Amino acid sequence: MQAVVRDLLTNYTRLGKGPQLLILHGWGDASANWQPFAVELAKKYDVIVPDLPGFGGTQSPTKAWGLDDYAGFVAAFIAKLNLKPSVLLGHSNGGAIAIRGLARDKFAADKLVLLASAGIRGEYKGRNRALRLVAKTGKVLAKPLPTRVQKKLQQKVYKTIGSDMLVVEDLQETFKKVIADDVRQDAGLLTMPTLLVYGEQDTQAPVRYGEIFHEAIDASTLEILPGADHFLYQAQQARVIKIIEDFLR
């Protein structure tokens, strides 16, 4: 399905009937990857999964966006489709967008589910400085090489240090704006029942993030999945869906 939202041709999927459940995917992800997950939830819910701008089948923004821009887009998407989400589910960066939008009344939901949510910045300043140094060094070393080889080397370096900057090359400036924005204060403003699910083996959004959000959000429950990594909704789909359905019941 497609709709024009804020002058961007937007792709989305919609499955099932029942209370509306809106899913916001993470950085570099797309609605297609959520299809098996959405099919299961669609047995009880009206599940809507948009491709956020720059990902999947949705056009990229014409300038660098931050979390506020993405939250504004989600608000416009909800208005365009005349949605009234009962549940908002955000994974990784989608979680940070959900927190920002809900805290600042851009949109609303009765309950919130955060899977491996990002949005905690500055917890590992020393590590981040080291990663930037490695990336800069890699860029300098690659300069004498052909452009095509430079890009491959940069991608390899960023992948090695765990950065998603080059996942979508034309969104590098957007990526920088997004990862510079901390949503801890926003989380403290949330009052709806919130489920936090984190993977024990997640290095991108570690359990510590879940603990911080759990402390900030009064009406929250924290679940930690042994052996799960960042993409827990794929690797442990059945387990994650059961936890979500138990929470929503």
Which homologous superfamily does the CATH classification assign to the domain defined by 2-121+181-248? Answer: Alpha/Beta hydrolase fold, catalytic domain (3.40.50.1820)
Mean pLDDT of the chain: 89
Distance (Å, whole) CA 160 – CA 249: 41
pLDDT tens-place string over residues 98-142: 999 999 999 999 999 999 999 999 865 444 454 455 555 555 555
pLDDT tens-place string over residues 201-232: 999 999 999 999 999 999 999 999 999 999 99
* Domains in the chain: boundaries: 2-121+181-248, 125-170
Distance (Å, whole) CA 138 – CA 165: 14
Distance (Å, whole) CA 190 – CA 102: 7
pTM for the predicted model, two decimal places? 0.86
Give residues with Cβ within 8 angstroms of 74, minimum separation 6.
22, 24, 50, 52, 97, 98, 101, 106, 107
pLDDT tens-place string over residues 138-168: 555 555 666 555 455 444 544 443 445 455 7
pLDDT tens-place string over residues 78-96: 999 999 999 999 999 999 9
Indicate the SS3 state at residue 172: helix
Please give the structure tokens belonging to residue 157: 């370096």
pLDDT value at residue 158:
43
